Amino acid sequence: MSLDRHVFALAVLCYGVSMLYSVFLWRKGFKRDNWVNFGIVLVGFLANGVALFKRGIYLDRCPVNNLYEAMVFLNWTIAGTAVVMGLTSKLRFVGAFASPVLFCLGVFALMPSLDVKHGNSPDFSNGPTSLHAASIILAYGAFGIASISGAMFLTQDRDLKQHKLRAMLSILPPLGKLERITAQLMWAGFILLTIGLVVGAIWVPLPAGKSFFSDLKVIWSLALWGVYLTLLVLQMRSALRGRRFAWGAVAAFAIILLTFWGSNLGSSIHHP
């Protein structure tokens, strides 16, 4: 195992510890502002960043050229967003909801079969290609955090219906604010996904004989683009609000997680 993988394994360990600690926070109903879990996620984020940086320096390119590297980038994006949001006391428990996602993605990423080498000196320094890949991965990160915000909404909504006192004592943000945060994150992911698709369609060079719009991963990405556009339009028109919108955010990201690997493996452009 290379050094960057060892460092990433340390990050995954931190996410696992945070996930276990979060169980106690959920049982207590998030009644106290807790810096311990925030600190654990922060350490994981820093280790995740070091692993990403080391891989990029070693390859001399943007490190998103196989599934392992894409997952390291995605985890770093989600953890970083959780850390930034956690600087605000009302959003400090985002890490408690993010850590299970980060841990599961990290464990999966560490599977040796995902870290496929692409030659001794892969060239991924092309600007449009790097912008395309980074925009798409950042979009997935934004969608992931939106799903976490949606999960926080569902937790708070359940407590309001079943344990009114617990909901009143909780320091989780109110439902209206959580819905706005979820929508804003989804818009950010949608815009990044749009940028990634446009850059890929116009400026990224393709292998000889390959068509951008006939590729399985591109078709999958366009379908994903349509799903999020539909959710956002319905939310703007008040046709999909509250619990249904939160469930939509969670379900849409679950679809990404369940189909991401297959779309990559079936792509002749992204996985030749």
Rounded to two decimals, what is the model's pTM?
0.75
CA distances 99 to 118, 122, 147, 199, Å, are 31, 32, 13, 32
Q: Tokens 């890929």 — which residue? A: 200
pLDDT tens track for 172-207: 677 888 899 899 999 999 999 999 999 988 888 777
- Position 154 pLDDT exceeds 50: yes
Alpha helices (H) along the chain: 3-28, 35-59, 67-86, 94-109, 127-162, 164-169, 175-202, 216-236, 242-265
Residue-range domain boundaries for the chain: 1-115, 126-272
| Residue 146 CA: distances (Å) to CA of 64, 117, 126, 173 | 22, 32, 30, 14
What pLDDT does residue 46 have? 96
pLDDT of residue 163: 64
User: What is the CATH number assigned to the segment(s) 1-115?
Assistant: 1.20.120
Select the highest-mean-pLDDT range: 1-10, 43-52, 144-153. Answer: 43-52
Cβ-contact 245, 237 below 8 angstroms: no
Q: What is the pLDDT of residues 60-119, one digit of tens each?
A: 666 677 778 888 988 999 999 889 988 887 777 788 888 988 998 899 889 887 777 655
Give me the pLDDT at residue 175, please.
Answer: 85
